[in-house]
Amino acid sequence: MDYSLITKSKCTDEEDPTTRKPEYDRLSQLKSFDETRAGVKGLVDSGIKHVPRMFHHQFENNSVSCGIQVSIPIIDLEKVKQNRTTREEIVGKVRNASKTWGFFQVLNHGIPMNVMEEMKDGARRFFEQDVKSKSRFFSRDYTKRVVYNSNFDLYSAPAAKWRDTVVCSMAPDPPKPEELPAVFRDIMLEYSKQVMNLGYLLFELLSEALGLNPDYLKDIDCAKGLVMLSHYYPICPQPELTLGSSKHADNGFLTILLQDNVGGLQLNFHQSLNALFFDFFNLLIIALRKSVLMAKPKPEYDRISELKAFDETKAGVKGLVDSGIKHVPRMFHYRPDKLDKNSSVSNGIHVSIPVIDLEGVKEDPGTLQNIVDKVRNASKSWGFFQVVNHGIPLSVLQDMKDGVVQFFEQDLEVKKKFFTRDYSTKKVVYNSNFDLYSSPAANWRDTLFCLMASNPPMPHELPEVSRDIMMEYSKQVMQLGCLLFELLSEGLGLQPDHLKDMGCTQGLGMLSHYYPACPQPELTLGTTKHSDNDFLTVLLQDHIGGLQVLHQNQWVDVPPTPGALVVNIGDLLQAKLLSFKNNCMNQLG
């Protein structure tokens, strides 16, 4: 199987076609480009304005003939393994699509949406890292299992394609994990496993469509290999001159292609030429047919430029709202499937996260044990719970919320003093979206981050408008955190100080989010689906709400409760507990 991934970003170059020299030394230009090891992305980063001549293509007319709009078949694989009648229907659709088109799309194929998104994000991270990191994989020796370059046929093709590529041979003899690029190693391994499983299913369906046993194509090793091609197509300054992928036929048994949201893929539909003759002697026509792909870059939305222009204002989302915008900029737009309304009602039953009253937790052993049991059950079943009577005065909670609003609503010039994207050396960081340049879409929010423990900033380093309440609230939350870790320790049957002794209470990072009113809330999100990579999160909501948590594959609303704080068991604590459990098992063993 071949696997292709299409990811697109931005692009440009240096040669003005109106000023070409009479003698064009193509080979020298190719060598000069290749020796940079920076690829097309390097041309973009250099700020070029014209596409170099080595990329210029001659074009054919690729419009739909006779005014007829056509689209390739879409096949839903749901219940393909559960229902025989459904499977026969799907086999018939695969047969017809393969015979008529040689292409089809599949839905409900078993690969989770988050795996596909992470794969696209991982490929993008690889190409957008620094050249030195990528250069370690640069080669034109395809006997290597991991190869990064631009254009495998750079020196033989009539014109170069406007793309960079990383090729990984993932089966049957995969590279060792440490041989894969660290920036997307884990998702490459996971996605390859998922695609192999899908490939097995597709070869079964194709075998049945040929009237053969389901395992026939697998038994003749059609499903044995997997090559992963991850392409990166920067946005082009002169798309009328070049192509991202030229006309070609795939020389594998089967190609599974994951596109990003930009598009650009085309295929040349010749019904009389692409027909598959379904008998044994013509079986290998599956590998030999001449179906045609074309991916042509178009004048694309320049997302990077929009991100940079937004970031350079240092005014954040609030600055957009203050400017009087009526439409949400495209950089904030989410795919419709990411914006599905999540109901907290399942089968007519309303569910809500547990609320635990901490009153009397330090006075009465019976009350303490009851609370420990509730914390244990809530942590095990939900990973979330709310606490009331937690010891932090209502006045402190309200002052903290007011202080956050005061920070974000003060004069921009004052806020700018704290603007940075340096989280490694700065203890106080103000910006909008920590992952602005890497996420598929920006969140509709601004954020102030302060590292309040174990090495807190000096008081004068904190924003003056909220300095006093930040220090008081941090002190109160640290005390509550110590209590919660005691309860969690006892819930695990350990000594109260066990988790504290492991260092779980040493740090405190304060994140203050500000969500301005949005003119088109149906297009964006304030916070996307995520897990917290800490030990414990103590969340103070304002009166507006909007928080949801995932429980048993169901999104549950967490409406604001006056005086309550939301507690979330973080990824690091779960990892610590898993490590502790494994150590105990090893000792018992």
Q: How many helices and strands, by DSSP H and E, does the chain display?
A: 17, 21
Distance, CA of 410 to CA of 110 (rounded, Å): 49
CA–CA–CA angle 554, 555, 560 (5° rounding):
145
The reported pLDDT for the residue numbered 273 is 31
* Least confident among 95-99, 206-210, 292-296: 292-296
Number of Cβ within 10 Å of residue 223's Cβ equals 23
Does the structure show a pLDDT above 60 at 91? Answer: yes
Q: pTM surpassing 0.95? A: no
User: What's the helix, strand, coil split of the chain in %, to 5?
Assistant: 40, 15, 45
Cα dihedral value 559, 565, 566, 567, nearest 10: -170
Q: What is the mean pLDDT of residues 315-333?
A: 96
Distance, CA of 488 to CA of 486 (rounded, Å): 5
Q: Which residues contact 171 (CB under 8 A, 6 or more apart)?
A: 192, 196, 224, 225, 226
Distance, CA of 537 to CA of 9 (rounded, Å): 35
Q: What is the mean pLDDT of residues 102-129?
A: 95
* Least confident among 116-120, 276-280, 437-441, 504-508: 276-280
pLDDT digits (tens, 9 = 90+) for 339-369: 765 555 444 567 899 999 999 999 999 999 9
Does the structure show a pLDDT above 90 at 284? Answer: no
Structural domains in the chain, sorted by start? 28-58+70-261 (2.60.120.330), 303-334+353-588 (2.60.120.330)
State whether residue 242 is helix, strand or coil. Answer: coil
335 or 524, higher pLDDT: 524
CA–CA–CA angle 65, 69, 70 (5° rounding):
100
Q: What does pLDDT average to over the chain?
A: 85
Does the structure show a pLDDT above 50 at 19? Answer: no
pLDDT digits (tens, 9 = 90+) for 248-274: 888 778 999 999 888 778 876 544 333
State whether residue 132 is helix, strand or coil. Answer: helix
Number of Cβ within 10 Å of residue 12's Cβ equals 19
- Token output for 144: 């290597």
512 or 156, higher pLDDT: 512
pLDDT digits (tens, 9 = 90+) for 25-62: 888 899 999 999 999 999 999 999 999 999 999 876 55
Residue 425 binned pLDDT confidence (cut-offs 50, 70, 90): confident
- Ramachandran angles phi, psi of 13, nearest 5°: -175, -170
Residue written as token pair 């904190």 = 462
336 or 259, higher pLDDT: 259
Cα dihedral value 524, 525, 531, 534, nearest 10: 120
Distance, CA of 200 to CA of 7 (rounded, Å): 25
The reported pLDDT for the residue numbered 26 is 86
Distance, CA of 531 to CA of 374 (rounded, Å): 22
Does the structure show a pLDDT above 90 at 310? Answer: yes
State whether residue 572 is helix, strand or coil. Answer: helix
Contact 367, 507 (CB under 8 A): no
Does the structure show a pLDDT above 50 at 338? Answer: yes
Residue written as token pair 């014109």 = 159
Strands 565-569 and 536-539: antiparallel
User: Percentage of the chain with pLDDT > 70?
Assistant: 85
Distance, CA of 388 to CA of 561 (rounded, Å): 9
The reported pLDDT for the residue numbered 221 is 86
359 or 584, higher pLDDT: 359
The reported pLDDT for the residue numbered 271 is 44
Distance, CA of 161 to CA of 55 (rounded, Å): 6
Residue written as token pair 């086999």 = 91
Contact 291, 87 (CB under 8 A): no
CA distances from 490 to 104, 219, 365 (A): 56, 56, 12
pLDDT digits (tens, 9 = 90+) for 56-86: 998 765 544 445 567 899 999 999 999 999 9
The reported pLDDT for the residue numbered 156 is 81
The reported pLDDT for the residue numbered 246 is 86
